[in-house]
Amino acid sequence: MEHFNLADHPHRRHNPLTGEWVMVSPHRTKRPWQGQVEKLPSETRPRHDPLCYLCPGNTRAGRAVNPPYEQTFVFENDFAALMPAPVAGEFSQGELLRAEPVQGICRVVCFSPRHDLALPEMSVAEIRQVVDAWAEQTLDLDAKPFIRYVQIFENCGAMMGASNPHPHGQIWATGAIPNELRKEEKQQEAYLALHKTPLLMDYLKLELAAGERLVCANSSWVALVPFWAVWPFETMVLPRRPVGSLPELAAQERDALADILKRLTIRYDNLFEAPFPYSMGWHQRPTDGEAHPGWILHAHFYPPLLRSATVRKFMVGFELLSEPQRDIPAELAAARLAALSETHYRQAADR
pLDDT at residue 2 in the model: 62
Q: Is 245 a domain residue?
A: yes
Instruction: Locate the DSSP E strands across 157-289.
Output: 168-174, 214-217, 221-224, 235-239, 278-283
Return the DSSP state at 227.
T
Q: Verify whether residue 168 is a known catalytic residue.
A: yes
pTM of the model: 0.94
pLDDT computed for residue 138 by the predictor: 98
Q: How many residues does the chain have?
A: 351
Residues in the chain with pLDDT < 70? 1-2, 29-43, 351
Cα(60)–Cα(168) distance, rounded to whole angstroms? 14
Q: Give domain status of residue 124, yes or no.
A: yes
Q: Is residue 179 part of a domain?
A: yes
CB atoms within 10 A of CB 229: 27
In this structure, is residue 96 part of a structural domain?
A: yes
User: How many structural domains compose the chain?
Assistant: 1
CATH code of 155's domain: 3.30.428.10
pLDDT of 33: 44
Q: For residue 114, give its domain range.
A: 47-350
pLDDT for res 158: 85
In a domain, 35, yes or no: no
115, 166, 168, 344: the catalytic one is 168
20 belongs to a structural domain: no
25 domain-assigned: no
Report whether 278 contacts 264 (CB < 8 A).
no
| Residue 164 lies inside a defined structural domain of this protein | yes
Rounded Cα gap, residues 77 and 62, in angstroms: 9
